[in-house]
Chain A
């Protein structure tokens, strides 16, 4: 945008600040994408006023080709802030984009009223539209980023929750694994298991993989790492919950579990653990 064009837009934004805000609110309230269940009118008003203010200040310093240039930094932060808040509340990305796009109508109205429909005005109009389009797309991108960070956070929490270690018997721990074992998961698993080994001074750990869908060479590698770490702490590991399918897959793939004792189910593994720790179960008749 040329200096003249910027001046035109800037003038509208400051001269008609309040009317623009009012008109924009009217547009937003009339839009089919309005979510009165997720945001109140006061909040909408506050958000819109904040955005307009940053838009005005940013444009005053000159409108660059790219919205990622310094003059529009605060405006971008504001938009990101608004987007993040809306993501938390459950808005759809199109609803956030509409927030930005719906400013066009009032802005255009005032531009035309002020400067008529000369070729110059049309130029300013076009460039303003382009600017707002870019901002709208930026809002959608921010939305994506915010969603991804929420998913990442949840995944980490899930990781923490899904590695319980239970004491089956004095000195015998069980680690039921649910889901696949990747390197991130293995780290969490090792830490939980080793800490419990220390806390309980257990000498046997049974890793049950009933809930693990497949055991390929990568999963086996992670299991072996875990077993080795436990061994360094003086505990012996065994693996239970090997299904017929997994047994076949492992042999076909040539997966070696080295010298780790394995059993089809947890109860067999427990029986082996008892033998190792010298416990005998006698049925009372």
Chain B
């Protein structure tokens, strides 16, 4: 079964989404991620979407869920690498991904996470 890999970077976890996420994959990711956060005591999660051409409402919802879940577990989430075309589409569709912090690069994302912890 396909799983999205979760990497540990110091106090943070890095997730790179490269494929279209649907149902099973999204559920598995939420499961894996919440477990890893507790297991490692991570203070922050970076979700890299730089290889995605499209972020649809389903993925938007999944991302918002992940951010809420990790927050409950005491970790912040930062979305990294949204492409210009994706940003424009999200705005046009009215999916502002409110409540999720965003950063241009992984570096900046980590800086953001360090500041908030």
**A and B are interacting partners:** yes
Name A's B-contacting residues (CB within 8 A). Answer: 187, 190-191, 194-195, 197-198, 201, 203, 225, 228-235
Count chain B residues whose beta carbon lies closer than 8 angstroms to a beta carbon of A: 19
CA–CA, A199 and B115, complex, Å: 25
A233 close to B104 (CB less than 8 A): yes
Total residue contacts A-B, CB cutoff 8 A: 55
A232 close to B97 (CB less than 8 A): yes
B96 close to A194 (CB less than 8 A): no
A229 close to B90 (CB less than 8 A): yes
Contacts of A190 in B (CB 8 A): 84, 87-88, 91
CA–CA, A197 and B97, complex, Å: 19
B108 close to A233 (CB less than 8 A): no
Cβ distance A165 to chain B, nearest Cβ, rounded Å: 12
Q: Which of B87, B88, B104, B109 contacts A201 (CB 8 A)?
A: B104
A232 close to B102 (CB less than 8 A): yes
CA–CA, A230 and B86, complex, Å: 11
Cβ distance B76 to chain A, nearest Cβ, rounded Å: 14
Q: Is B103's CB within 8 Å of the partner chain A?
A: yes
Contacts of B104 in A (CB 8 A): 197-198, 201, 203, 233-235
Q: Which of B79, B88, B103 contacts A194 (CB 8 A)?
A: B88
CA–CA, A225 and B96, complex, Å: 9
Query: With A225-B91, A228-B91, A232-B90 in contact, is A194–B84 under 8 Å at CB?
Result: yes
B84 close to A233 (CB less than 8 A): yes
CA–CA, A234 and B84, complex, Å: 11
Q: Which of A191, A203, A231, A235 contacts B88 (CB 8 A)?
A: A191
Contacts of B29 in A (CB 8 A): none
Cβ distance A173 to chain B, nearest Cβ, rounded Å: 12
B78-103 vs A, CB cutoff 8 Å, 1 = contact: the mask equals 01101110111011100011000011
Contacts of B79 in A (CB 8 A): 232
Query: With A198-B104, A203-B104, A228-B96 in contact, is A233–B91 under 8 Å at CB?
Result: no
Cβ distance B38 to chain A, nearest Cβ, rounded Å: 28
Contacts of B82 in A (CB 8 A): 232-234
